[in-house]
Chains A and B, each alone.
Chain A
Amino acid sequence: MNTATPERAVLADIAARRAQVAAALQQVLPERAILSAPEDTRPYECDGLAAYRQLPMIVVLPDSEAQIVAVLKVCRELNVPIVPRGAGTGLSGGAMPIADGVVLSTARLNRIVRMDAYSRSAVVQPGVRNLAISEAAAQHGLYYAPDPSSQIACTIGGNVAENSGGVHCLKYGLTVHNVLRVRMVTIDGDVVELGGEALDAPGLDLLSVFIGSEGMLGIVTEVTVKLVPKPATARVIMASFDEVVAGCHAVAALIAAGIIPAGLEMMDRTSSRMVEPFVQAGYDTEAAAILLCEADGTIEEVEEEIARMTAVLNTAGASAIAVSQTEAERLKFWSGRKNAFPAAGRISPDYYCMDGTIPRKRLGQVLEGIAQMETKYGLRCANVFHAGDGNLHPLILFNANIPDEFERAEAFGAEILALCVEVGGTITGEHGVGIEKINSMCVQFAPAELEAFFSVKRAFDPAGLLNPDKAIPTLNRCAEFGKMRVSGGMLPFSHLPRF
């Protein structure tokens, strides 16, 4: 049959549109900065959340701010949506392309513009890798504090978009606490400076709202980050607990004692048994939970803090305590926690990483809820936990080749997030909403709040072309999602009162 199917019609439209947009972009960009053949754009079809894929219409790789301004003007003129992309390591599909959109990669803006030890700051382009900043600052005894697990690959532009954290953020803060200034281009082609090298800037604190905005408000072209002195030393305590809740009480006892550990991580038995064969970190695989608690600072300070921490953990009922005696041992203790995700990939064909944050005191309740969901969905779940700040990463193990397992994993994940909201937490602590958790936003926010988010977006991006349809669900989408939930049979947590 010659009649085009609707899909074919869409494809034909996109081909025509691609030709039109590519021709316009060729006026402002060198040939090598434009990719439009599917074999070239294929690597951009997803980010770290590989379950969600979409081939983009065009990918552009500008290498200067002037080129970014030019791209935005073309896209504004032709009404083309733009998806910004850093290293593509994000875990929520924030960089997932749009079929009739342009992916704007900042990978070629990868220069450290200035490293200033005296003012403890670095000016970097958005495509500079997180770890590269610390490596360049190391000769001055300085480093960039936020250390997301992907720091070897992820870029500062992406960190700004996601407000990335890391294992040390309880003590050293998130991206928002460590970025002084962002230079960005709006959809209208205006180059705007937010923040500055002073500690504050006049007017509304636009920098705060820009950081974590998931590429929806502007395209970052330059970032000034704060550098901090590298602690002289660090040591970590590994404590075992017979019950997960006891480990959680120990965390509360540490905080109550006035201690803010440099790192504070917990893993349940499923997780430690998953990683131990993989990395031989020396974990107690009989313990219900393992707590890693790090002190950093001067040698005297660390000694004092380790002694205080040990006393608190003993009183809190730790069944075993080991303190790293060398840097190699410290890294070994951490290796298990840092390899939790790869270890999950080793024992299960697929895994789905969740990212809820809860008030820590509700951990017992949430873990119990997750255990019930394991039965309900017939899937296993390993829990790793940034214990200091309440950020929980349940890893749902599944096999995408088994019919309906991915759908069950997704439903399992959404139910965990709904539970996080129920106990006063949030659906995402550090991975962002992206496309992945957009329906869960309907659980966390009321329509008027979602509408307020849209008005913030319009204040920066009146055309609505920057990463549209991510992070903030439309009210229609929430209505459909609600319907979907009801038609699925049952509202989540039907035993809980609703008000």
Chain B
Amino acid sequence: MSTGSHSDIAAQFGARIRAATAAGTPLRLRGGGTKDWYGQALQGEVFDTSAYAGIVAYEPTELVITARCGTPLAEIEALLAQHHQMLAFEPPRHGAASTIGGVVASALSGPRRASAGAVRDFVLGAVLMDGHGEALRFGGQVMKNVAGYDVSRLLAGSLGTLGLILEVSLKVLPVPVCEASLRFEMSEIDALRRLNEWAGQPLPISASCWRQGVLSLRLSGAEAAVVAAQRKLGGVPLADAAAFWASLRDQTHGYFDGGSLWRLSVPPAASAIILGGEQLIDWGGAQRWLKADTVDAEQAAAIRRTVAAAGGHATLFRGADKDVGVFHPLAPAVARINQRLKQAFDPAGIFNPGRMYG
């Protein structure tokens, strides 16, 4: 790609997209390529967005950052850290090349999600390049904005299937003044019960993780609140807490090694979900990871039935055999609306075809 101003790059993107729409050429949108393994199998010509990079605006006192899609997540986080701010949804860093466009398109959130919110909760605005190569601006750079449908939040988790997310504006938050982490030995059933009870009390819990009889808890907030909560909750201090929460966030923790991995998204109050394979529970009970050695259609159907009965849905997060379907099947009326939206923004079906649903 030739170097040039950002508007030149955007113009080149537009020309390529228009040509692809005219010819029906599938495009595989790619930022840092750190999440190529996520979603259904990839198809189409690689469309590298990394050249369209750079922070467009950052106003710490407005709590908003705007960046082009190819901006490395690491660059954004480093700048925010200088101002004691953060992306509160703690996007997993699946690799150094991870870009903000990919963060929004995949909408994966980290341990703070249950208390702070998900990627979509922090999206304030976006510029989307649709199948006509037209740059469309939705939302904005302000906290409150109800002009027009909230298309920018719709892009969070769209996996690039609606178009190329050129630019995003995200709400940022101050880094908590004080953090402390605790460790408790308890069974899965007790941990789920305590997490739900605690969540109903004014406690500054910002992350939780249960695995193999150990519940780890992170507290964040004003020093007085953290100290008071520690006194109330008991437990023992968690060793190497920062490294532990980072390993959970980035999935570098040993639990995530090898095999296939299911992500079970369930109501936090759902009781223990009985399925073969080791589980790790975070988000206060709302996200349960399940390891599986192999995945076949019958097992996948059984997992999906069990999780749906608990009020949730199951994603084959990482796994060799994607023929069983990565994402949970949609209800027919919901699927119809999904398809019509795809058709509206990408009439020729060129953007990441089949990455979400076939």
Contacts and interface: CB of A to CB of B under 8 A. Distances in A.
Contacts of B83: 256
Contact of A211 (B150, B158, B201, B338): B150
B16 interface: no
B148 A453 contact: yes
A459 B286 contact: no
A422 to B, nearest CB: 13
A433 B144 contact: no
Contact of B221 (A141, A196, A202, A301): A301
B274 to A, nearest CB: 18
Interface string B107-124: 100000110011011000
A452 B222 CA distance: 44
B311 to A, nearest CB: 5
Contacts of B315: 202
A141 B200 CA distance: 8
A70 to B, nearest CB: 17
B157 interface: yes
B310 to A, nearest CB: 9
Contact of B150 (A119, A209, A231, A388): A209
A18 to B, nearest CB: 31
Contact of A452 (B117, B338, B344): B344
Contacts of A407: none
Given A196-B313, A300-B228, A448-B136, A361 B61 contact: yes
B84 A116 contact: no
A256 B117 contact: no
A120 B202 CA distance: 12
B177 A452 contact: no
A140 B120 CA distance: 29
B322 to A, nearest CB: 15
B142 A359 contact: yes
A450 B138 CA distance: 10
A117, A301, A390 interface centre (most CB from chain B within 10 Å) = A301
B147 A427 contact: yes
A157 B31 CA distance: 39
A176 interface: yes
A295 to B, nearest CB: 9
B147 A297 contact: no
Given A119-B267, A193-B334, A449-B138, A142 B146 contact: no
A193 B287 contact: no
B331 to A, nearest CB: 7
B175, B338, B341 interface centre (most CB from chain A within 10 Å) = B341
Contacts of A169: 143-144
Contacts of B138: 449, 452
Contacts of A176: 121, 150, 153
Contacts of B145: 357, 426, 428-429
B62 interface: yes
B327 to A, nearest CB: 5
B311 A359 contact: no
Contact of B330 (A140, A203, A211): A203
Interface string A150-176: 000000000000110100011001101
A349 B13 CA distance: 55
Given A203-B330, A204-B338, A205-B120, A429 B200 contact: no
Contacts of B158: 204-205
Contacts of A117: 200
A261 to B, nearest CB: 12
A472 B148 CA distance: 7
B225 A206 contact: no
Contact of A297 (B150, B225, B335): B225
Contacts of B173: 260
Interface string A178-199: 0000000010001111101111
Given A255-B63, A260-B174, A452-B130, A203 B228 contact: no
Chain A, interface residues (CB within 8 Å), range? 35 or more
A452 B345 contact: yes
Contact of B142 (A429, A441, A457): A429
Given A117-B200, A255-B60, A426-B145, A201 B313 contact: yes
B130, B174, B286, B337 interface centre (most CB from chain A within 10 Å) = B337
A201 B338 CA distance: 13
Given A304-B222, A359-B59, A459 B341 contact: yes
A458 B341 CA distance: 9
Interface string A430-451: 1111000100010011101110
A300 B232 CA distance: 14
B18 interface: no
A497 interface: no
B260 interface: no
A441 B145 CA distance: 12
A252 B62 CA distance: 7
Nearest to B177: A258
Given A202-B330, A203-B327, A118 B269 contact: yes
A448 to B, nearest CB: 5
Contacts of A287: none
B333 A190 contact: yes
A198 B311 contact: yes
A298 B196 CA distance: 19
Nearest to A175: B146
A456 B149 contact: yes
A120 B315 CA distance: 25
Contacts of A81: none
B144, B333, B336 interface centre (most CB from chain A within 10 Å) = B144
Nearest to B156: A205
Contact of B151 (A217, A251, A456): A456
A229 interface: yes
Contacts of A190: 333, 336
B324 to A, nearest CB: 14
A208 interface: yes
Interface string B122-142: 000000001010101110111
Contacts of A197: 267, 311-312
A336 interface: no
11 contacts: A117-B200, A119-B267, A173-B121, A199-B268, A208-B153, A209-B154, A300-B228, A431-B146, A437-B147, A445-B137, A452-B345
Given A196-B312, A199-B265, 20 more contacts: A118-B197, A118-B200, A173-B117, A198-B311, A202-B329, A203-B334, A206-B154, A206-B334, A209-B151, A229-B203, A297-B225, A301-B222, A304-B224, A359-B141, A361-B62, A426-B144, A448-B134, A452-B345, A459-B340, A460-B340
Interface of A: 116-121, 140-142, 162-163, 165, 169-170, 173-174, 176-177, 186, 190-194, 196-206, 208-209, 211-213, 217, 229-232, 251-253, 255-256, 258-260, 297-298, 300-301, 303-305, 357-361, 386, 388-391, 424-433, 437, 441, 444-446, 448-450, 452-453, 455-460, 462, 471-472
Top 9 closest pairs, chain A to chain B, by CB: A300-B224, A455-B344, A119-B269, A258-B174, A389-B143, A459-B340, A208-B153, A252-B61, A429-B144
